[in-house]
Structure 1
Amino acid sequence: MKQTALVTGASAGIGRALARQFARHGHDVVLVARREEALEDAASEFEDRYGVTATAIVHDLDADGAAQALYDDVQDRDLDVGILVNNVGVATYGEFHETDLDAERTQLRLNVETLVVLTRSFLADFRDRGRGKVLNVGSTAGFVPGPKMAGYYASKAYVNSFSEALAVENRTTDVDVSVLCPGPVETEFQERAGMTDSLVGSVFTNDAESVAAAGYRGLLAGDTVILPSLLSKATYYGERITPRPILRRIVERVNGDR
C-alpha cells in the first residue's frame, strides 16, 4: 500500500499540483490550506478522478503554534502520514527597509518555522517506524543572495541547506529527505508577492504541473536536490563559478523592474 502524503499549501499552485501527482499515482492525500472552498474543490477532484481518499484540513499556518496544532490534529484524526510535503510559502518584494515588518514575520513563519516544526515532528515518526519521505519546496533563489527580495531568498537558502543536511543525517535509514528547487513558476505566487512588474515576476521557466512531476519523480528516486528545469540546473551550477559580487548584481537586475 502506498504511503499517505500530507501537502501544505495544497489549494493552488505548486502545492495543488504536487498533491495531484501523489493522488494520480495512487497515494491517499491530506490537503492543508486556509482557503476552504479551493481545498474542498481539490479534494473532490482527486477523489473523483483518481479514486483515492483526500482529506481536507482547513488550517491557517500563519499563527503562533499553528504547525504543532496541525501535527496534533493529524494524530487525533489517526491519519497515517508517511510522506510530508512542505510547500506552503510566501514572498515579500521590495527593498528591505521599506517592506512591511508583519509581512516579513509571516514569511519567516511560513517559509521556515512551519517547515522546521512539521519536519521535526513527522521525521521523528518516520524514523521510529523505519520508513518515510520528506519533500521540502525550496527554490533556486536559495542558491544566491537576493536584492529586492532579501528575506525570501534567505528563507529559501535555509530550506535548501536544511534539507541537504537532513538528507545526510538520514542516509543510512529508509527515510529520504529531498528539496525541490524550481525557478519562477507560473502561479499566483508573483501576484501575491506584488512582484508582477519585476523581470523575474514576468518570466516563468516552468509550469506548476511539470515542476510537481519532477518533484514526485525525484522524491521517489531518492534524489537530494531536485532541479526541474534547465534554468534551475544552470543556476545551481553557475553560482558555484560566478564571483559573488557579480552574482549579487545579476540578481539585483533580475529582481528589478522591467
Structure 2
Amino acid sequence: MTRIPLLAAALSILLPIVAAAETMKMAVTTSFQNSGLAEVLVPRIAEETGVDVELIVVGTGQALRLGEAGDVDAVLVHSRAAEEAFVAAGHATHRTPFMYNDFVVLGPVADPADVTGAGTAPEAMTRIAAAEASFVSRGDDSGTHKAELALWEDAGMAPEGTWYRPVGAGMGASLNTAVGMGAYILSDRATWLNFDNKADMAILFEGDPALFNQYAYLPVNPAKGDHLKADAAGSVENWLVSATARDLIDGYRVGGEQVFTFNAEQ
C-alpha cells in the first residue's frame, strides 16, 4: 500500500531535473540571422546552458529600443556608439564584444561609378554620389544603416536625390531591392555570401578599416523589472565568450570562406 506514495515522492524529486529549459528573449540584428550563424549558435546555447533563446530579429535601433523598454532580456547588435550610449543611459549594465566581420560595398559588375578604383570607403561613396548611380540604403536605423551614414559623413556629404533609395527594410530585403535595381548597397559580408539572389552583383570595394563591423552582447539592466531573466542572460553571455563559441564562430563558413572572427575583448 505504500508503493504509490513512494513512487509519487520519487517523481517529485525527478521532475525538476526534466523540467523545460528556461526561455529568454534576445533582440538581434537581421544580419546575425541572415548570415546563418544564428542557426549554428542558438541550438548549442540551449544544449550547453539549458537556456532556449527566442530571437526577435530587427535592426540595431529597434533592438535597442526593445531593450530600453524592458521587452527583451538582452540585445545582440553592431553599432558601438549606440551601444555605449545605451549602457551610459543605464539600459544595460555593460557591453561585451565577442565577434566581428566587415562591411562591403556591392554593386553591378559593370560598376558605372568606378567604385573599384576608390582608395577608401568614403571615396567609394563619393564616386557613387558623383555618378548619381542608384544606391539602396536600408534606411531602418540598423547597425548597417548607421555604418552607411558614418561613411557619408566621412565623405563630407548628405546623400539626397532620386538616385538614393532608402527602403526601411532588413538586410535580405534590401539586397533583393538592390539586385532588382542593379544598385549599389552596403552590406555585411556574411549576409552577402549567404544570399542566394546575387544575379550580376559583386563585391566592388572592401578592406578599409572603416568597414570593420563589431558585434556585441548587452544584457538588459534587470532593474527594469522582475520579469527579466538576468540569470539566463548571464549564462548566454558566459557561453558567447567561451572556447566552444570561439570554435563555432571561427569555424563557421559560407562558400568555404570564414565570415566571422571571435574576439572576446573589451
TM over 0.5: no
Bigger Rg, structure 1 or 2: 2
What is the TM-score with the length of structure 2 in the denominator? Answer: 0.30
Q: By percentage of residues, which structure has more helix? A: 1
What is the TM-score with the length of structure 1 in the denominator? Answer: 0.31
- Higher relative contact order (Cα pairs below 8 Å, separated by 6+ residues): 2
